[in-house]
Chain A
Amino acid sequence: MQSNPLLGRIAWNTLIALLYLFLLAPIIVVFIISFDTRQYLAFPPESFSFGSYVKVFQNVKFISAFWRSLVIGAIVGFVAVSAGMLLSLSLVRYQFRGKAAVGFLILAPFLVPHIVLAVGIMLVIAPLGLLDSYPGIVLAHLGITIPYTVRTITMSLMAVDTRVEEAALVHGASPRMVFWRITLPLVRPGLIAGGVIAFLISFDEATISLFIVSVKASTLPTEIYHYLEYSTDPQIAALSVILILISVAVVMMVEKLIGLRKAL
């Protein structure tokens, strides 16, 4: 509406800017304080240095947790994408009895609080001796990531015009060739987006992980959590910045591939 008084517009834009500032405040502050040199949490920083970063890289506990998180995230991403691709194919291309039930089961983990799931998973894998193990934490993360991979892959799959596949069949491609040469390349954005989201959820997840792992399979977020219970020094800020940068990379990738809003 052009009848906007200029003043109202400025007030509105200021409000939006302030709300954004609130939303991004913790990330901004963590970034600033990661360059502080002191041993304790205080603001504003006294001087500028990369000391905290150096300390993080020398901290064996954090570094090994970082690698573990990376490996766990990668495995979770791969398995969730594979299972998600198969589930999406069955949901998009098949009619079968119980389809609605399967669809509900896939979406249901969105509807159950993580902490409840965490207790349940803990109870299931404890008797199997999988607490604080790689298989245990991977399994725990699969339930909450598969819904995301199914969502992104289903979206990509539904956008594929089946006439393209028919055209390939008519022109002599076997169903196997059609799958590998036509369908799979066409849904690749959804596969990659689903994979990196699954990776990131696993990489950042703290709630469920805290119930499942303690020492041997501890992930980076659980290490940070336990560290924060006793100390809040800028080392954590440096570590957080690294985590944030990984998130930013993933966000940009997903945004480019299929649009962030659709994926979440």
Chain B
Amino acid sequence: MADHHVVIDNLVKTYPGAQKPSVDHVSFSLPRGEMLALLGPSGCGKTTILRMIAGLIAPTSGAIRLEGRDVSSIAVYKRNLGMVFQAYALFPHMTVAQNVSFGLEMRKVSRAEREERVRKALDLVKLTGLGDRKVNQLSGGQQQRAAIARSLVIEPELLLLDEPLSNLDAKLRDEMRDEIRDIQARTGVTAIFVTHDQDEALSMADRLAVMSAGRLEQVGTPREIFDRPQTEFVASFIGAGTFFEGRVAEPGLAVVEGLKPLRFVGEAPVGSMVKLMIRPHRLVLAGSSGLPNSFTGTVEHIVYRGQMLTLNVRCGGRLLQADLPTHAGVLPEKGSEVTLAVAPQDVTLVGQVAP
């Protein structure tokens, strides 16, 4: 972790007059060339972290290290970071090329070199030949590209993106998502972006940092976050699932009221209360009700989703959500009785319940 490119170390931000810190002892790190998503609901502190890294606001305590050097006391205009703002913040009184060139001018790059680098940057974001346009003559997607070119042309040590896709319509969003990923991979720039959209985070990032109420909940690869959520917040914020509370009767076995005992994978002391979660697509139709980890109940509600059939099954007084592939042979009907089963490794331990 020490040799990672970006290291965020115990970062705290408490606004004057605020009761609670907006960012509460957050630490994570990122290797060179990777892309990290700061994910969480609005107000969780993710944007505050981004702005502290950028240098736009000062941390209350903690360190931001780039290549092992603490930059938290360096003025924003000396940090050499690139940032794509949510509404792009393109300078309205300049052309596209002048916008892109601005950072180079500040670095006193010679005119000839500036022109060359601006041209290359515009090529990179597929805005070739649009340099003379006024900013307001660009479409939303083009403005986004111009903003990316402007922040990359200075060859920043780190690229920051604040909700990069939120100002685009659905179709453009998919296109720009691939595009940003592609540009980042080609330039090899280390990048951090902020989003509240889990699909965006899962599909774009090498690494996710999930936040809630100023605290970091979990850092990991998209797969780890989705399949092995470590907290109840992460489990419920990302993807759907059914939650159970149970008492651990023996290692890897929990007794849940109204159901058969559940086998799960994970460490929890015997006798403690635990919270377990099952993803809907991990449940399968079972032939007999005698299997371990099986649930028998009545289908209360069915939604047909093309490839999937979403069932709500009333079982032992609670509702279980299951997604079944529609090619799975005979499909249950509303009101019928079904038995569902789940493998122990797909019952995820997401936390302990305080007694």
Contact = CB atoms under 8 A, between A and B. Distances in A.
Interface of B is mostly: loop
Interface string A1-43: 1110000000000000000000000000000000000000000
A2 B55 CA distance: 8
Interface residue range, chain B: under 10
Nearest to B58: A2
A3 B76 CA distance: 7
Given A1-B76, A2-B76, 9 more contacts: A1-B56, A2-B55, A2-B56, A2-B57, A2-B58, A3-B55, A3-B75, A3-B76, A3-B77
9 contacts: A1-B56, A1-B76, A2-B57, A2-B58, A2-B76, A3-B55, A3-B75, A3-B76, A3-B77
Contacts of A1: 56, 76
In the complex, the 3 A-B pairs of residues with the closest C-beta atoms, listed nearest first: A3-B75, A2-B58, A2-B57
Interface residues of A, number: 3
A197 B355 CA distance: 66
Interface in B49-79: 55-58, 75-77
Contacts of B55: 2-3
Nearest to B57: A2
A2 B54 CA distance: 11
A3 B78 CA distance: 11
Nearest to B78: A3
A3 B58 CA distance: 8
Nearest to A3: B75
A136 B96 CA distance: 58
A19 B76 CA distance: 30
Interface string B199-211: 0000000000000
Interface in B176-209: none
A1 B58 CA distance: 9
Contacts of A3: 55, 75-77
A71 to B, nearest CB: 50
A8 to B, nearest CB: 13
A31 B61 CA distance: 49
A3 B79 CA distance: 12
A2 B58 CA distance: 6
Nearest to B73: A3
Contacts of A2: 55-58, 76
A236 to B, nearest CB: 46
A247 to B, nearest CB: 34
A65 B198 CA distance: 71
Contacts of B57: 2
Contacts of B56: 1-2
A2 B75 CA distance: 8
Nearest to A2: B58
A2 to B, nearest CB: 4
A25 B75 CA distance: 39
Contacts of B75: 3
Interface string A84-123: 0000000000000000000000000000000000000000
A236 B117 CA distance: 69
A3 B56 CA distance: 8
A3 B74 CA distance: 9
A1 B54 CA distance: 11
A173 B119 CA distance: 64
A1 B56 CA distance: 6
A7 to B, nearest CB: 15
A2 B77 CA distance: 11
B58 to A, nearest CB: 4
Interface in A113-139: none
Interface string A138-168: 0000000000000000000000000000000
Interface string B4-47: 00000000000000000000000000000000000000000000
B14 to A, nearest CB: 14
B60 to A, nearest CB: 12
A47 B55 CA distance: 56
Interface string B203-228: 00000000000000000000000000
A100 B265 CA distance: 75
A44 to B, nearest CB: 39
Contacts of B58: 2
B76 to A, nearest CB: 6
